[in-house]
A = this chain, B = another copy of it.
Amino acid sequence: MTGEPEFDRVKPAARLFVDTALSSGAAIELDRDRAHYLQHVLRLAPGATIELFNGRDGGWTATIESFAKRGATLETKAQRRSQVASPDLWLCFAPLKRARIDLVVEKATELGVARLLPIETRRTVTDRVNLDRLRAIAMEAAEQCERLDVPVIDAPVSLPTLLGSWDTSRTLHVAAESGEVRSIGEVLAPAPCAFLIGPEGGFDRGELDLLRSVPFVVAIGLGPRLLRAETAALTSLAVWQALRGDGSGPDLRPPFRD
Contacts and interface: CB of A to CB of B under 8 A. Distances in A.
19 contacts: A110-B227, A111-B231, A145-B225, A145-B227, A175-B255, A176-B256, A181-B252, A181-B254, A186-B250, A221-B251, A221-B254, A222-B247, A222-B252, A222-B254, A223-B247, A224-B246, A234-B234, A239-B242, A242-B243
A53 interface: no
Residue with the greatest number of chain B CB neighbours at <10 A, chosen from A112, A183, A225, A241: A225
Interface string A230-258: 01101100110111011111111111111
B223 A112 contact: yes
A167 interface: no
Interface residues of A, number: 59
Given A182-B251, A222-B255, A227-B255, 4 more contacts: A110-B228, A112-B224, A146-B224, A183-B250
A247 B222 CA distance: 6
A228 B258 contact: no
A257 B239 CA distance: 21
A175 B219 CA distance: 31
Interface string A126-154: 00000000000000000011110000000
B241 A223 contact: yes
B257 A144 contact: no
Contacts of A224: 84, 112, 146, 246-247, 252-253
A208 B254 CA distance: 13
A159 to B, nearest CB: 14
Contacts of A219: 254
A243 B186 contact: no
B238 A226 contact: no
B175 A256 contact: yes
A174 to B, nearest CB: 9
A75 B251 CA distance: 57
Interface string A92-129: 00000000000100010011100000000000000000
